Amino acid sequence: MTDPTVEDLLERVREGDVRLHELDDHVDAGTAATVRRRLVADESGADLDVVGEYAFDAAAADPNIDNMIGGVQVPLGVAGPVAVDGGAFDGDRYLPMATTEGALVASVNRGCSVIDAAGGATARVTKSGMTRAPVFRVADVAEAEALVEWVRDNEDRLREAAESTTSHGELLGVTPYVVGNNVYLRFRFDTKDAMGMNMVTIATGEACDVVEAETDAELVALSGNLCSDKKPAAVNAVEGRGRSVTADVEIPREVVEERLHTTPVAIAEINTRKNHVGSAKAGSLGFNAHVANAVAAMFLATGQDAAQVVEGSNAITTAEATADGDLYVSVSIASLEVGTVGGGTKLPTQAAGLDVLGVRGGGDPAGSNADALAEAIAVGALAGELSLLAALGSRHLASAHADLGR
Ligand SMILES: CC(C)(COP(=O)([O-])OP(=O)([O-])OC[C@H]1O[C@@H](n2cnc3c(N)ncnc32)[C@H](O)[C@@H]1OP(=O)([O-])[O-])[C@@H](O)C(=O)NCCC(=O)NCCSC(=O)C[C@@](C)(O)CC(=O)[O-]
Ligand SMILES: NC(=O)C1=CN([C@@H]2O[C@H](COP(=O)(O)OP(=O)(O)OC[C@H]3O[C@@H](n4cnc5c(N)ncnc54)[C@H](OP(=O)(O)O)[C@@H]3O)[C@@H](O)[C@H]2O)C=CC1
């Protein structure tokens, strides 16, 4: 029997005989995408030819996209190279950044060149652990207390159940929270080189089965929002989620004056009045200028989950003029959720981004590549903070974007 043609399938979808998402059952993934693209183009009047010019294998992208019609391209640039002394990321590297914001890569590039002139940045992952927090219904607070005690006494059983679903993930701990007749169990896992959301969701589900079998608690939702994934949340800023990572640098005063056209004292003052006082008044969780910019651009370039830029912007920038008149700057990102295996990291253009950093795939030891990626992103964020604070000091923000961004 011959394969159905695009025209045949278009007709069958229009007649309601085949659903849009069932096309892959009838033809290969690329042809299925073509049929959907044709249908959407016909019905919306949009010209989608360019959307069909994608460079990856549609079948290989199956774990990443449903109802695929093509691909979106984002321009890719590089900042650097920049010297980094990291716990896992070492040497002089280019930082890949995908963005549509003109002047952004230029800004991070300037920051990198200043960091380099100062001898490089230092970066360390200080805490690591991906979380999932199911919510259970209990009868009352007495039953809640009983559940909390049971969890404390039976963590090994929960660990055994959770770890039966993964050869890499390790349960680090379970923290209970009680609110009336709701009990939230915040499971925290070492997910090695994976960002880990699929891994910990599957593992936590297995542990929840044990809780339900052994206690009176009833699972209401596998994610009870105390995790907290893809929402701004203080719990992530305080407790961390994914990688907590810090990068810092001390820059000689002459370098600040020559290359950034301002002074250490001016940068420190802007940082305090803008990033700390201004953010406090705004009720912000991000005490920084634009950490989200480096996080988003490097997430897109390396196949991370873009929605987790929300947590990636949970960052505090500090800046101080030292006793010698130089400038100390740091960026601490509390909850940077990154992986070098799984998710979007296998797609060819994103894998190439990881290759530029030298962190593709599983690390040796496991987890070291994801640590290195976190440190690279923190250095990119540090470079961006430096350059933007300086541009505000020299009053170049508007002119830079007028020149480079429109
Ligand atoms: C634009 C600059 C860098 C000019 O800065 P400059 O010092 O006038 O430029 P320069 O021509 O003297 O070049 C200095 C260095 O900048 C880099 N550089 C310079 N041009 C390029 C380019 N085309 N492509 C790549 N790199 C470039 C490059 O490293 C170069 O060194 P060189 O390699 O020549 O020795 C500076 O004015 C700047 O950084 N401005 C700040 C822009 C910025 O940070 N924008 C971020 C986005 S703003 C935003 O999204 C968030 C916001 C602002 O709303 C958040 C908030 O509320 O704060
Ligand atoms: N399920 C959910 O609720 C959510 C899912 N997501 C999505 O989840 C995906 C990311 O989940 P994630 O679990 O990271 O990825 P994957 O689901 O792609 O799984 C990655 C798997 O790779 C295996 N692996 C191989 N080598 C290593 C290594 N060195 N370190 C760690 N694991 C390794 C592990 O298998 P094994 O476990 O067998 O050892 C691991 O589970 C993204 O696509 C994201 O968009 C995002 C948010 C929520």
Arithmetic mean of pLDDT, 171-199: 98
Q: What is the DSSP string of 230-285?
A: SS--HHHHHH--EEEEEEEEEE-HHHHHHHHSS-HHHHHHHIIIIIIIIHHHHT-S
> 172 burial class (0-12, 13-18, 19+ CB within 10 angstroms)?
middle
What is the pLDDT at residue 1? 58
Supply the residues annotated as catalytic.
101, 305, 401
Cα–ligand 1 centroid distance for 77 (angstroms):
14
| List of E strands, 39-89 | 76-86
For ligand 2, say whether the CB of 200 is within 6 Å of any of its atoms: no
Nearest ligand to the C-alpha of residue 62? 2
Query: Dihedral, CA atoms, 269, 97, 354, 83, nearest 10 degrees?
Result: -40
Our answer on whether the CB atom of 199 is closer than 6 Å to any ligand 2 atom is: yes
Asked if residue 347 has its Cβ within 6 Å of ligand 2, the reply is no
| CA–CA dist 8, 4 (Å, integer) | 6
At 404 the pLDDT is 77
> Is-contact 343 316, C-beta < 8 A?
no
Give 109 Cα–ligand 1 centroid separation in angstroms.
7
Q: Is the Cβ–Cβ distance between 240 and 129 less than 8 Å?
A: yes
Q: Which protein residue has the closest C-alpha to ligand 2 atom 47?
A: 197
Cβ count within 10 A of residue 127: 14
CA 361 to ligand 2: nearest atom: 29
* pLDDT for 223: 98
Domain 134-221: give its CATH code: 3.30.70.420
Give me the pLDDT at residue 396, please. 80
CA of 157 to the centre of ligand 1 (A): 54
- Judged against a pLDDT cut of 80, whether residue 406 lies above it is answered with no
Mean pLDDT confidence for 129-157: 98
In our burial notation (b when 16+ CB lie closer than 10 A, e otherwise), range 215-246 reads bebebeeeebebbbbeeebebbbebbbbbbbb
Residue 305, judged by CB atoms within 10 A of its CB (0-12, 13-18, 19+), counts as middle
The H or E element spanning position 127 is: strand 121-132
- pLDDT class of 402 with cuts at 50, 70, 90: confident
Please write the tens of the pLDDT for every residue from 37-89.
Answer: 999 999 999 999 999 999 999 999 999 999 999 999 999 999 999 999 999 99
Identify the CATH class of 76-127+243-404: alpha beta
Dist. CA 47–CA 37, nearest whole Å = 9
From CA 338, how far away is CA 344, in angstroms rounded? Answer: 11
Q: For residues 227 and 221, is the Cβ–Cβ distance under 8 A? A: no
Q: Considering every ligand atom, which ligand is closest to the CA of 346?
A: 2
- In short, whether 113's Cβ falls inside 6 Å of ligand 1 is yes
Give the distance from CA 2 to its chain's centroid. Answer: 44
pLDDT number for residue 38: 97
In the predicted model, is pLDDT for residue 395 greater than 90? no
